[in-house]
Amino acid sequence: LVKCRVNVGLKVLAQNFKRFARYMLERAKKAIPKMEGGSVPILVQ
């Protein structure tokens, strides 16, 4: 039961992190267009 709960928690965390990363990416693109090329590949991986 504990492992299942941990796995579910990690999945939720991963989804939230992806959403947060996308949100930050959009903000970064608008704020610093020059850094777009360098920052996108790092966050995608």
Torsion sign (Cα): 10, 11, 16, 22: positive
Question: How confident is the model at residue 45, as a pLDDT?
Answer: 47
Domain boundaries, the chain: 1-31
Put simply, whether the predicted model's pTM sits higher than 0.75 gets the answer no
**Are 37 and 44 a contacting pair, CB within 8 Å?**
no
Question: How confident is the model at residue 27, as a pLDDT?
Answer: 85
Tens-digit pLDDT profile for the chain (45 aa)?
A: 788 888 888 999 999 999 999 998 888 877 665 555 555 555 554
What is the residue type of 36?
A: E
